[in-house]
Structure 1
Amino acid sequence: MKLLASFSFRLALLYATLFTLSVSILLALFYWISIRRPIEQVEASLAAESARFEMLYREQGAQALVVKLERRATLPAPRQAYHALIAPDGTVLATNLPSWPPEPNLRWLRIEADIYRDGEEYDHEALVLDRRLPDGARLMIGRDVQDIDDLDEGIRVGALWLMPVMALLVIAGGGLMSRAIGRRIDAVGATARRVMAGDLSERIPVRGSGDDIDRLGETLNAMLERIEASVESVRRVSDNVAHELRTPLTRLQAELNALQAASPERKAALIESANDEAERLGRMFDAVLRISRIEAQRHQPEMREVNISALIEDAADYHAPQAEERGLILDTQVERDLATVGDRDLLFQAVSNLIDNAIKFTPPGGRIALSASRADDGIALRVADTGPGIPSEHREKVIERFFRAPAAEPVPGFGLGLSLVAAVAKLHGSSLRFGDAAPGLAVEWTLPARSG
């Protein structure tokens, strides 16, 4: 029962059954074409001849039929002709058959018609149609079918040898197929068990053949990579959150402890400071959760056509007072009627984060250049500032949550702004690049343009 429960065994059994059935059908078809069809052709020819001879007998009598039968026996033909005409009283009027049944069978007969040549006997067999004529006479006509019988015997002997060989081949082939499939399924199971044991780096071996099991392995490997990345992301976020919480929680605890001995005026200041710290922590958690939801694709984006030109102008207008307050020039050059398909709220927040990031790190009197234009691969959006920029060795890390370059330490923030931008870009199937604005940082974001 355990063997029958095996998928690979059942598949091999199905293969063996289909193979055997296919070979049997081919053998039956070959037998019909080689044996049955020629026999049927001989039978049809003899039936037609018998009908003509009966008509001749009725119209011209026995003597005319005897002449016809004897002439038929001497005519060259692919098959030797045989006959016997017996009168109603049992007198043999004409024959070249060595023997026949004493009583008419009114059906097809097989009669031995051995031939003697040069003192040697050669086995021959005739297919004979035995019929009774209207006046009681008996007419038998036939043809030599020894060649068909020889072929029939050869096919039967060959089949007797072929069947055991075919059975062995089917069993061997089915066993090999069962083992091959079983090994590959076992490899998938072994990988799954190692992953369950905690090794998320394990992957299912793929042969590169492109078959069903390979495609399944590739899909499962992609799933494992996603799981590993998610678990690593959770671990990294947990470590980062724990690290980021240590200082504000310590500060919050110190402020709460100071409340016990503080004067009324001092208490109000400490409570306000503690409240600000709590709000700051709340904003940090909100940002972390939003990034996590986007990266895990639990956020259901409202994908629709978005006018990127108008969105960028709105974001620039929103941050214009902030830039003016810091003494910055916010230069906007946006091509009209640029459109993409995406979630407008997420896109607005991502663009807003880029502008806010540039404002934070650009010293007073600096310039922020915001541009968007059509490109061969979509819509090219660029935000460049004249701040300190990001060293090349840190550019790949700036999208990691809580990462802050040394130059960013004096600037308030959590290190989450560019992480959110990267998550939104990935959600929209777009690319984000960081370059040198000489001086400052240039962020280039290529969005897919709306088709049509």
Structure 2
Amino acid sequence: MNISLTARLIAIMMLSVFLSSLVSILFVSSVTVQQVRGMNMQRDMNIAIVVADSLSSAADKGELQLSRAIASQGMQGSRSPMGEGRMGQGRMGEGRMGEGRMGPGRMNPPEEPQRSPLRNILPGQTLVLADGDEFIPLIITDEKGNILQGQYRDAHDNDENHLSSEIYKQGAPYYMNDKITGYVLAGNQAGQTESRGDIHQMTSIVRGILLYPIISALLASFFGVFLLRRALRPLKSLHLGVQTLQKGEYSYRVKIPDSKITIRDDLTMLSEGFNEMAASLEASEEWKKQIISDTAHELRTPVSLIMGNLEMILDGVYKADRSRLESLHRESTVLAELIKNLQVLASEESKRGSTEKIEFSLSELVGHTAEDFRALAVHKNISVQLEDSGNIKFKGDMNKTRQVLKNLMVNALRHTPDNGYIIMRCLRQKNCIIVEIEDSGEGISPEYREKIFNRFFKIDKSRNSEGSGLGLSISRIIIENQGGTLSAHEGRHGSALFRISFPENELG
């Protein structure tokens, strides 16, 4: 089963949102439950303090009144409103105990016992701390932890008549004559587990907590899917582009949004890389078509001449004499040179930017080339001059550079009239190495100074009657493979000047 990348990314994103929401829910729920329990514990402590305060008030009137007050708590509990961590309105019969407040209590008896509103409660009356729906159990003990009123169950649900000091000292003490007489425990202090009200309260809170993250997760997933589809849209275009290239159609380009503020993400760079690859393939295909067309055109002439002469000899029209054979040999030589140059051109085109470089003396190479061509220039009485600015080292391909110098010198020698001159220069100029070859010929018109580097290009028969038309094209590629440039210019007296330039980072 094939699953698209978009579907997988959407699934991963939704799973991540779900897991992060789940972790957040669990964390917030845990914190909230702890907070609710803390509030309930504070509520229980407040109830215990209020009851202890009422017992202390009764104790001030005598032991009998205290006993009656303890007995009046026979209901074993009080009612407290659910969901509130505070006291409601307390009542003793018709007596008003206070609204959500408690007296100072007698936890640490001051030098002069302070009276609270609860001390006005008459003994024997039933104490109802708050109106509400939830029953809060109470336990009253003496100072040694013996239970006087109420019921305590341990973890195994066994009744206990005596509480350990660790338990009863958690309650609120009540006093007689400024001495601790016992303790009051309420709610969880009295051994109560989570009440229905507490459970209902925590359940309501957790439901609210669950609702918001779930809604947030759904909204995040919805907008995330929408944005992800837009972000991954270039992948579909890339897939279509790959299929198009497989068919040999190299003109396809991935559309990249054109905006003033361009965010270059991975998909944008991938799309740009695809377009560059497609452009390179298109250029390569065009080059292949052009080279085949040009080669076929250039081969047609020598092959036709050779075949025509051979057919005429076979038909008996021409005799196979020396002059005829020399003509066939010349055409064969031209054909062989053309094939060789095509091989060199294809080789140089295939290894652009990957030429192996070594350090050598470029000035010495130029000097040796000038010396070699002086012998060839004698028969035309052409002067080959050398202008050198010292030993200049260069890091490149020495053999390929020698081939370029040879091609340029052959071209200059071919188009320099008798009694003319050819000047070779090697110098440093503006952080570059410059090699120039200038002749005293007729020069090259500005409109042709770039075209002459095209394959098989010839200005006219008078200037390009010899050669395959590939020499300058091969020379430029060789120089460019070494990081330099080859260009044609006008010489000092309107003649032709070819300049090779290498940047400073290519200096030896």
TM-score range, shorter chain: 0.7 to 0.9
* 1:114 positional shift: 5.5
**Distance in 2 (alpha carbons) for counterparts of 1:445 and 1:396:** 14
8 A Cα contact 1:256 1:270, kept in partner:
no
User: Secondary structure of the equivalent of 2:434?
Assistant: strand
Equivalent position of 1:239 in the other structure: 293
* 1:143 positional shift: 9.0
**Distance in 2 (alpha carbons) for counterparts of 1:281 and 1:447:** 34
**Distance in 1 (alpha carbons) for counterparts of 2:483 and 2:457:** 23
**Distance in 2 (alpha carbons) for counterparts of 1:189 and 1:73:** 85
Are residue 444 (structure 1) and residue 499 (structure 2) matched? yes
User: Secondary structure of the equivalent of 1:434?
Assistant: strand
Cα distance change of structure 1 residues 413 and 31 upon mapping to structure 2, 3 Å threshold: same
1:136 is aligned, of 162, 187, 201, to 162
* 1:251 positional shift: 1.2
User: Secondary structure of the equivalent of 2:360?
Assistant: strand
User: Secondary structure of the equivalent of 1:370?
Assistant: strand
**Distance in 2 (alpha carbons) for counterparts of 1:177 and 1:376:** 53
Are residue 221 (structure 1) and residue 194 (structure 2) matched? no
* 1:39 positional shift: 5.5
Cα distance change of structure 1 residues 320 and 34 upon mapping to structure 2, 3 Å threshold: farther
Gaps (5+ residues) in structure 2? Answer: 57-69, 91-97, 100-129, 140-151, 155-159, 172-184, 189-194
Larger Rg: 2
Deviations 1:201-252 (A, max 9, x none): 2211123531111111111111111111111111111111111122211211
Over the aligned positions, Cα root-mean-square deviation in angstroms equals 4.3
**Distance in 1 (alpha carbons) for counterparts of 2:423 and 2:397:** 24
**Distance in 2 (alpha carbons) for counterparts of 1:131 and 1:355:** 114
Q: Structure 2 counterpart of 1:234, which letter?
A: K
**Distance in 2 (alpha carbons) for counterparts of 1:128 and 1:359:** 122
Q: Which has the higher contact order (CA 8 A, sep 6+)?
A: 2
Matches within 5 A, 1:31-430: 31-33=29-31, 35-36=33-34, 70=52, 98=77, 115-116=88-89, 121=131, 136-137=162-163, 139=168, 141=171, 156-207=206-257, 208-260=262-314, 261=316, 266-297=320-351, 301-406=355-460, 408-409=462-463, 411-430=465-484
Cα distance change of structure 1 residues 409 and 356 upon mapping to structure 2, 3 Å threshold: closer
User: Secondary structure of the equivalent of 2:454?
Assistant: coil
User: Secondary structure of the equivalent of 2:453?
Assistant: coil
**Distance in 2 (alpha carbons) for counterparts of 1:345 and 1:377:** 24
Q: Structure 1 counterpart of 2:9, which letter?
A: L
Bigger mean CA deviation after superposition, 18-27 or 214-223:
18-27
* 1:95 positional shift: 11
- Tell me the TM-score normalized by structure 1: 0.74
Equivalent position of 1:7 in the other structure: 5
Cα distance change of structure 1 residues 165 and 311 upon mapping to structure 2, 3 Å threshold: same
8 A Cα contact 1:113 1:126, kept in partner:
no
**Distance in 1 (alpha carbons) for counterparts of 2:496 and 2:351:** 29
**Distance in 2 (alpha carbons) for counterparts of 1:285 and 1:330:** 31
Q: Percent identity?
A: 21
User: Secondary structure of the equivalent of 2:77?
Assistant: coil
* 1:344 positional shift: 1.7
- Tell me the TM-score normalized by structure 2: 0.67
User: Secondary structure of the equivalent of 1:443?
Assistant: strand
**Distance in 1 (alpha carbons) for counterparts of 2:21 and 2:206:** 15
Bigger mean CA deviation after superposition, 284-293 or 26-35:
26-35
* 1:121 positional shift: 3.8
8 A Cα contact 2:312 2:318, kept in partner:
no
**Distance in 2 (alpha carbons) for counterparts of 1:127 and 1:376:** 99
User: Secondary structure of the equivalent of 1:188?
Assistant: helix
Deviations 1:344-376 (A, max 9, x none): 211211122122211111212222222122233
User: Secondary structure of the equivalent of 1:401?
Assistant: coil
User: Secondary structure of the equivalent of 1:406?
Assistant: coil
**Distance in 2 (alpha carbons) for counterparts of 1:247 and 1:340:** 41
Q: Structure 2 counterpart of 1:161, which letter?
A: L
Q: Structure 2 counterpart of 1:187, which letter?
A: S
